[in-house]
Chain A
Amino acid sequence: MLLLQQFVNSIMLGSVYVTVAVAFTLTIGILNFLNFTIPTLFMIAGMMGWALSYYGLPLGLSGPLPWPIALMGAVVLTIIASLIVERFTFRYLKTKYGDSTEHAIPLVSSLGFLLVLENLVRIGYGTDSRRFEGPDADLTMNIGGIFVRVPQLVSLAVTVVIVLGLTMMIKHSRIGRGLRAIAENPDAANILGVDTRRIVPVVFILTGLLCGLAGALFAINYGEVSPAMGEDIGTKAIAGMVIGGLGSIWGAVLGGLIVGLIEMMTVHFFGADTVQVMVWGALLLTLLAYPSGLLGHNTIGKGKL
């Protein structure tokens, strides 16, 4: 019974990883770009949600906002931050000689953004973790002896809806067709009439939206945010993405859940100290033995960065 409870917990934990991992896999699958600002965007969503509900709007425009409005504002801010990142990491960067490290330019640039955004938040709000006053927290359901917290159930549902919506959008809409064309070959897509400069920001809006929602759900579920909250989630989401296969949305879903499962089972059987070794060991093994992951295409991310 305890094991079953752990299993349910691992799915709840995994659903946060899933949302962030989908953001990672989307930028890598479509733009061939490993966006290291994603954990930071996740953190910004949480911290901004807290700041809006604690201080209210800047310049004394309002008092502390109620938590749902604060979180919505936080998601909007995260999307804006993501678009700023797009301006500087992706828009102006064209490779000139095509040698092997030049493709790393957006990646390096996103590492720079990681430092800037993270430290700005630290300067603004300090490094301590803060209590987020969400909904009255003790909404717990007892289903046949298994305890499930309602906010977690809601966030699982939200995650499922997002992923389904995203898949539908990419498969059936006009924008989705453009995105798939860019993923296939950006130059050819451009020649054939896909307006790359207007479609690429869509990826970053989606990234911001996914990270924002993940951050907001995290704040509701755990009731605590801090400037360091992105690192742990971000690295585990990367692990989930790789295990599921780069560039595959359903792979990221599967991988995120698997990472949640590995984490919970490791804590259950070996204790919390070995989690890092297990998760990253699984990632390293996947990379070395079966690089395309469980559901990935083996063309994505090869040779390019």
Chain B
Amino acid sequence: MSGYWAGILSILAINIIFAYGIFIPVASGQLNLGGAGFQAVGAYSAGWLSASFGLPVSVTIAFGVIVTGVIGVLIAFPILRTKGVYLVLATFAFAEVIAGAILSSEPLGGAMGISVPGYIDWYVSVIFAGLVTVFVFYLMATRFGLTIRAIHDDEDVSDLMGVSVRNVKVAAFGIGAALTGLSGGLYAHSFSYIEIQGFNALVSIYVLLYVLLGGTQTAWGPLVGATFFTLLPEALRSVLPATKNFLVTLFGETGIVAPPDESWRFVILGALTVLMMVFRPEGLVTRTMVERLQFWRPANRGVTQ
């Protein structure tokens, strides 16, 4: 396995875990635009523990997950009192406060970042991504997953039917934060170096777009969205220069052609987002689509009972 593919696979695995961490609150109807903040908490608590005390990787990552989960639950109580635009802004503000706090903190390296000694290979992240995927699929199949979906569709009705809306929302937020922290810890140890500029507002935006474009109705959505948009830039990396070369030779030019700008990848991601929102706002994978693609169908589906 070359270093290039190992790097892509670990970033893919980390992005999938990250996307699931955002997916669980979004599936219960709470847009979380502060993903980078939670990921930074996970990455910095794991990285700091590893750099300062030299503890083994398993301990530091577990510590990162616990810290992020606890912070997620603690922040969930006040944050979930807000709704709609206020919730989006509050999570966004939370991420900015975290980034600012880390930036002005001496022990965490400030703007210099910290290098993380414990190194993990790519397959560790991939195994974790597999486990998280299975866990989220299981979670969405349980009664808890059902209540999450119910709250997403209609909060008041679920409340009337006896769902404890607040507890479910806080739990969803906390689990999501813990998963995001896991992705942060894995990131810190996979790339051996973290700086706060790597956890900026754009990262929160990207991961939310992965989840929403993949679809929030089923657990397939984040998997598809994160995989597609992590691999798309890599595919474009080879396709774009080839296209440009082809176009240039069409016009009869010879010689070395400068490779196109990296920014085109983000233009394409943004344009796809706009188009998806116009034509298929519920996301790529929907519940009906999954049901149609199933080979084995439950017998009573669609029959009046």
Contacts and interface: CB of A to CB of B under 8 A. Distances in A.
Is chain A's binding surface mostly helix, strand, loop or mixed? helix
Contacts of A99: 29, 152-154
Interface string A63-92: 000000000000000000000000011001
Nearest to B216: A101
Interface string A271-305: 00111110011011001100100000000011111
Interface in A201-247: 231, 235, 238-239, 242, 246
B277 A305 contact: no
Interface stretch (A110-118, A129-137, A148-156): A110-118
B271 interface: yes
Given A101-B152, A119-B263, A111 B281 contact: no
Most buried by A among B100, B216, B271, B272: B100
A105 B277 contact: yes
Contacts of B264: 119, 123
A194 interface: no
Contacts of A276: 96-97, 99-100, 103-104
A104 B212 contact: yes
A112 B88 contact: no
A120 interface: yes
A105 B86 CA distance: 16
B29 A277 contact: no
Contacts of A181: none
B170 interface: no
B267 A100 contact: no
B230 to A, nearest CB: 16
A97 B288 CA distance: 14
A258 interface: no
A109 B84 contact: no
The range of chain A's interface size is 35 or more
Contacts, number: 160
Contacts of A101: 26, 29, 31, 152, 212, 216
A34 B85 contact: yes
B89 interface: yes
A156 B86 CA distance: 29
A122 B96 CA distance: 24
B79 interface: yes
B94 interface: yes
A104 B278 contact: no
B97 A303 contact: no
Given A122-B261, A277-B104, A283-B93, A305 B84 contact: yes
Is chain B's binding surface mostly helix, strand, loop or mixed? helix
Interface in B202-249: 205, 208-209, 212, 216
A118 B200 CA distance: 16
A118 B272 CA distance: 15
A287 B82 contact: yes
A139 B263 CA distance: 39
Interface in B251-275: 261, 263-264, 266-267, 269-274
Given A99-B29, A99-B154, A115-B273, A280 B83 contact: no
B246 to A, nearest CB: 19
A301 B86 contact: yes
B78 interface: yes
B96 to A, nearest CB: 4
Contact of B270 (A96, A105, A112): A112
Contacts of A301: 84-86
Nearest to A115: B270
Interface string B277-288: 110011000000
A105 B88 contact: no
A107 interface: yes
B281 A93 contact: yes
Contacts of A88: 274, 278
B281 A102 contact: yes
Contacts of B278: 88, 92-93, 109
B89 A283 contact: yes
A96 B282 CA distance: 9
B104 A273 contact: yes
B89 A116 contact: no
Interface string A23-43: 000001000101000000000
8 closest A-B pairs by CB:
A112-B273, A115-B270, A276-B100, A100-B29, A116-B270, A301-B85, A277-B100, A119-B263
Given A111-B273, A277-B104, A283-B89, 9 more contacts: A101-B31, A102-B282, A111-B270, A112-B273, A120-B263, A235-B201, A284-B94, A304-B85, A305-B88
7 contacts: A88-B274, A95-B281, A111-B209, A112-B272, A242-B93, A273-B103, A304-B84
